[in-house]
Structure 1
Amino acid sequence: MDITVVGGGLAGLTAAIAGAEKGANVTLLEAHRTLGGRARATEPPYVANEGPHVLYGDGAPYRWLAGRGLLPPRLRLPARALAGVRFRHRGRLGAPPVGLLRAAARRGLRAPHDRDFGSWGRERFGAETTGTIASMMGVALFDADPSRLSAEFVWDRFLRVTTPAWPSARYMVGGWTPLVEWMAARARERGVRIATGARVDSLDSLPAGPVIVATSLAAARSLLGDDSLEWESGHTLMVDLGLRRGRDPFIVFDGDECGFLERYTEVDRTLAPEGEELVQAQVPVRAGESRAECAERLERLLDLSLPRWRDRVTWRRDQVARGRTGALDLPGRTWRDRPAVDRGDGVYLAGDSVAAPGLLGEVAFTSAVAAADAATSRSGVGAS
């Protein structure tokens, strides 16, 4: 049975591999000239991701990739890096507030999905600690007001980020491009036909058989003509910086304004030229805020975190990410309420805003495997 995958990002590549493993004849169509989707990175000497991506070693997608030998060389966080973790609180950099540490120790506490995090948290931790937790979660939510989101959604991600096994994040040597290349190579080994520069404007132009739409939700909405494909997502301003080496922190969690900063070259020196650093910082855009106003707030975070950074800049890139940082669940909603994987009539969705569990990009992997399983099951294709 033929299956067509539309989109060659991490979700599309995962769906293609999973479908081919079940014995399907898979064709993958990618509109851009290169694969990777939001896992694309800039060309050397400054290798910056097109957006924020984290691969957690304690998640199911990591195990799925590892079980297939699809993980390229990767690095764990070195012990020395922990000394470079800072927390912005009340306008100053320092150690995490005691209230936040106490909250993180309550591993058995469960939050309801039908209440907002702000009101639920204030009853348990007080207003200041709740606000600090919500702002810290800018690292995973990219939203200017996480207190308005589902308590379960925010709290579960807070527990994941602060797990005692932290840091479980894994860094691919050379950024995300090697992972994309390894996945593309495996797909081709499995017989997947990959065509880049192949834009799909209508499903009617595709061969008969199941179709897995592994694009952004906005692109899927347009392609399928389905206005119900909407979901809350982040809106953030990001800046990538090449800097001459200085005395910079490794990570800054922003407990005041939901921002985040990470110096990736602390772990992977291949991302910038010798003697330089690669830093990515982000601050979520507030409702009604102009780009200039948001940029001013972001630069205040840089001023606080990176000594004399303006004098050390060797490269800079600014980008706004809207609707491409994963799903956000409002009170009364869970991942099960997001747009379903199975759209009927042999059409399936995969991506980071689809009805599948996981943190950040894990949703794309999980939904892609589910889409491939459903498509092959519908087609009567057996496991290979």
Structure 2
Amino acid sequence: MEKGTDMQRITVIGGGFAGLTAAITAAESGARVTLCEAHDTLGGRARTAQGRYLTNEGPHALYRSGAHWTWLKQRGLLKPVAPVPLPAIHRIRLHVGGTLRRTPPLALVRLLRRTAEQAPVERDFLGWATDEVGSEGARAAAHYAAVALYHHDPGSLSAAFVHARLRRATSMPPGAHFPRGGWGALIERMAARAWNLGVRIETSARAHDLPTTHGPVVVATSLDAARRLLGDDSLRWESGRTTLVDVALRARRGDAWVISDLDAPGWIERFSAQDGTLAPAGEQLVQCQLPIAPDRSRADGVAHAERLLDAGFTGWRERLTWRQSSVAAGRTGAVDLPGLTWRDRPAIRRGDGVFLAGDQVAAPGMLAEVSFNSAIEAATLALASTGPRFHS
């Protein structure tokens, strides 16, 4: 069998954003692809809950500057998406010193003038930023960056890693866009594309062992699941731990759109401001993520969310129509400690025709972009593979 022909077989394990990206990429090159998903629905962490309130698993966004934006657009998978509504930008509030304000500390603004290249890999962000603009601005910047990190102590991470994400998260006009109907709508379009390309999709098909035939395998699961499946204890990387709190409120004029806590890492966003389909008419959906340390509980994160809601959503308890909370541990993407970069994370190529994709592996980007970039690379390497698993 010649590589690259339409007879080549590739198995993708995991039907989330990374798995679907890998499956589509391989199928577009003529491979016969089987995608196996353990759950009864596709999507992984990009699932959107069904019902009256269409919640994602934490605040999600697509950034225009990411490679996945162009890839999705070229395939007609991107739209409909909702940009940040311009009026909402004026309802961004910063929680500083226990009160809300409209403008960031001047020191934070000064820090944003430093390019991503000026932030060193080997130093922690808080120490470097303190030297640059002082401790107050450094702490504020570290806490603001938590929106793209889901980590309880962003200042302890690599300065290069944090500062690059801080600059993207604060860009104006905002680069963030939101799939209408939640990320589940995007997953449905990707699944339809895969199906039309001939991908065989098997749900409720948990893999306990790797297939021993039928060509290369792309493992597009969480790093924990990949470690168990491959029996490789080296598949570990630092991640975050955050409390996710979702609330639905009866609508009220004057509510904040975003509250970023600069006193401690925390982010609240009214997602129905840009996509009114997420909640019933007359209600609004607010999603919160409050990073917590390993020794703190979900209750600590919930209490933090309630303090921010008290500050920015007057009378929210009386307007509450629904709520839920959970803790996401090790499911929030890779974070890099001082001295480390994405290149130091678990490699995509695992040997013997096995390739790894996901948000904690060796690929560049921010949040979902890591999943996308690693999936493209994994599928490309699988297509070129001539290892033992290649032959059926």
TM over 0.5, shorter chain: yes
Corresponding position of 1:353: 360
- Which AA in structure 2 matches 1:6? I
Classify the secondary structure of the residue corresponding to 1:316: strand
Tell me the TM-score normalised to structure 1 length: 0.96
Distance 1:241 1:206, change over 3 A: farther
Q: What CA distance in whole angstroms lies between the structure 2 residues aligned with 1:37 and 1:71?
A: 18
Q: What CA distance in whole angstroms lies between the structure 2 residues aligned with 1:11 and 1:41?
A: 16
Structure 1 runs of 4+ off > 6 angstroms?
none
Match of 1:292 among 260, 285, 299: 299
Classify the secondary structure of the residue corresponding to 1:233: coil
Corresponding position of 1:3: 10
Corresponding position of 1:82: 89
Corresponding position of 1:234: 240
Q: What CA distance in whole angstroms lies between the structure 2 residues aligned with 1:319 and 1:206?
A: 37
TM-superposed CA distance for 1:18, in Å, is 0.4
TM-superposed CA distance for 1:365, in Å, is 0.5
Corresponding position of 1:243: 249
Determine if the alignment matches structure 1 residue 149 to structure 2 residue 157: yes
TM-superposed CA distance for 1:292, in Å, is 2.2
Match of 1:120 among 117, 121, 128: 128
Corresponding position of 1:270: 277
TM-superposed CA distance for 1:62, in Å, is 0.8
Q: Quick check: 2:22–2:378 contact (8 Å CA) kept in 1? A: yes
State which drifts further: 66-75 or 228-237.
66-75
Determine if the alignment matches structure 1 residue 101 to structure 2 residue 73: no
Q: Quick check: 1:217–1:230 contact (8 Å CA) kept in 2? A: yes
Q: What CA distance in whole angstroms lies between the structure 1 residues aligned with 2:279 and 2:142?
A: 32
Report 1:198-209 matches (<5 A). 198-203=205-210, 205=211, 207-209=213-215
Classify the secondary structure of the residue corresponding to 1:319: strand
Report 1:175-214 matches (<5 A). 175-203=182-210, 205=211, 207-214=213-220
Q: Deviations over 1:352-375 (max 9, x none)?
A: 101000011110011000000000
Tell me the TM-score normalised to structure 2 length: 0.94
Classify the secondary structure of the residue corresponding to 2:226: helix
Q: Quick check: 1:44–1:271 contact (8 Å CA) kept in 2? A: no
Q: What CA distance in whole angstroms lies between the structure 2 residues aligned with 1:179 and 1:292?
A: 32
Report 1:21-170 matches (<5 A). 21-95=28-102, 96-107=104-115, 110-164=118-172, 166-170=173-177
Q: What CA distance in whole angstroms lies between the structure 2 residues aligned with 1:73 and 1:57?
A: 14
Aligned length: 378
- Which AA in structure 2 matches 1:264? F
Q: What CA distance in whole angstroms lies between the structure 2 residues aligned with 1:51 and 1:280?
A: 7
Q: Deviations over 1:30-68 (max 9, x none)?
A: 010000000111113200002332210111111111112
- Which AA in structure 1 matches 2:152? A
Classify the secondary structure of the residue corresponding to 1:314: strand
CA RMSD of aligned residues (A): 1.3
State which drifts further: 210-219 or 103-112.
103-112
Classify the secondary structure of the residue corresponding to 1:325: coil
Q: What CA distance in whole angstroms lies between the structure 2 residues aligned with 1:254 and 1:128?
A: 14
Q: Quick check: 1:146–1:154 contact (8 Å CA) kept in 2? A: yes
Classify the secondary structure of the residue corresponding to 2:240: strand
Percent identity over paired residues: 53
Determine if the alignment matches structure 1 residue 340 to structure 2 residue 376: no
State which drifts further: 291-300 or 155-164.
291-300
Q: What CA distance in whole angstroms lies between the structure 2 residues aligned with 1:233 and 1:16?
A: 26
Q: Quick check: 2:111–2:129 contact (8 Å CA) kept in 1? A: no
Corresponding position of 1:225: 231
Q: Quick check: 1:39–1:51 contact (8 Å CA) kept in 2? A: no
Q: Deviations over 1:333-369 (max 9, x none)?
A: 0000000000011000000101000011110011000
TM-superposed CA distance for 1:74, in Å, is 1.1
Corresponding position of 2:5: none
Q: Deviations over 1:248-296 (max 9, x none)?
A: 1111111111100000011010000000000001111124223223322
Q: What CA distance in whole angstroms lies between the structure 2 residues aligned with 1:325 and 1:268?
A: 23
Corresponding position of 2:337: 330
Corresponding position of 2:178: 171
- Which AA in structure 2 matches 1:131? R
Q: What CA distance in whole angstroms lies between the structure 1 residues aligned with 2:9 and 2:116?
A: 46
Q: What CA distance in whole angstroms lies between the structure 2 residues aligned with 1:58 and 1:248?
A: 29
User: Where does the alignment leave 5 or more consecutive residues of structure 2 unmatched?
Assistant: 1-7, 388-392
